[in-house]
Structure 1
């Protein structure tokens, strides 16, 4: 199993399943216990907004980033190897991008 497959299985699939379970549950709790001050009023709305944003992020990964990685294009910018005469800023840029899992397709 590749790292991409693990991310899809362990995170994307799990996040989707968890939110599909939690949102209706939050609505049920809010509906049944709205008269109590401790009730997590607004949690279902928050979870729905979170689900929308997270789904957008995951879709970008699944449609753009992951196919690029699987096709071998995920190691652009010369695998983040700077030339011998690279300045400190260039070196820091590549180190920071690589550390943060940023992939760039130079055109």
Structure 2
């Protein structure tokens, strides 16, 4: 299900409703909190305009625009915005921030998911399915991180350093975006299976910790995929197109 995400060139004069959700978050990462709270996907579907995203989810556009205005007025974007880094530095930031997070969290969550499925899966089949979906996601992400770190990111760094590359990045980038879409579908499935990460009243502490950890994983992966799909990859493709 590959659909190549082009990142339309937008000027800041473009009205907010007609700008893509991905570009709005690239400009101010704090906006991601607003979109997350509303269930607006700014990573895999970040190529949609704000207007289209609101219509699709039945959300009042005026309310979202008011939230965005409040976020802009409330505080300057003091946190370092990784979207402003050059491609090689952004790739390094993604590895240090998001890949390292996944390498720490995935084994921890896997152990908890296995335990909860074993103990409670008999009377709560959904937790057995949570484990199955998570295990598949774990395997796919492990392979995905290696491909980025061993093949794609070194090629981006080489192109960034020399302004040229011996091969086109279109194929590897399209493959990574397709894998991001698969990860996005797995996250959506986990959210559904866990009732928006809400443990039942009888849930033990491991069960509660698992659901909290999965919700954090979703938040981090959404930011991670957004930075790659809507900032790093378009910059890399534009760089190699000039070469």
TM range (shorter): 0.5 to 0.7
Q: Specify whether residues 10 and 99 from structure 1 end up closer, same or farther in structure 2 by C-alpha distance, changes over 3 A only.
A: closer
How high is the TM-score relative to the length of structure 2? 0.30
- The Cα of 1:65 is off from its aligned counterpart by 1.4
Partner of 1:80: none
Contact 1:12 1:58 in 2 (8 A): yes
Aligned to 1:48: 135
Aligned-partner Cα distance in 2 for 1:11–1:19: 12
Rg: which structure is higher? Answer: 1
- Number of aligned positions between the proteins: 88
Shift of the alpha carbon at 1:29?
A: 0.7
Instruction: Tell me the CA shift for residue 34 of structure 1.
Output: 2.5
- From 35, 49, 62, the equivalent of 2:149 is 62
The alpha-carbon distance between structure 1 residues 31 and 4, as it changes in their structure 2 partners (threshold 3 A), is same
- Greater length-normalized contact order (CA 8 Å, ≥ 6 residues apart): 2
Gaps of 5+ in 2: 1-84, 166-229
- Unaligned stretches of 5+ residues in structure 1: 78-97
Q: CA RMSD in A?
A: 3.3
TM-score normalised by L of structure 1: 0.62
| 1:7 pairs with 2:94 | yes
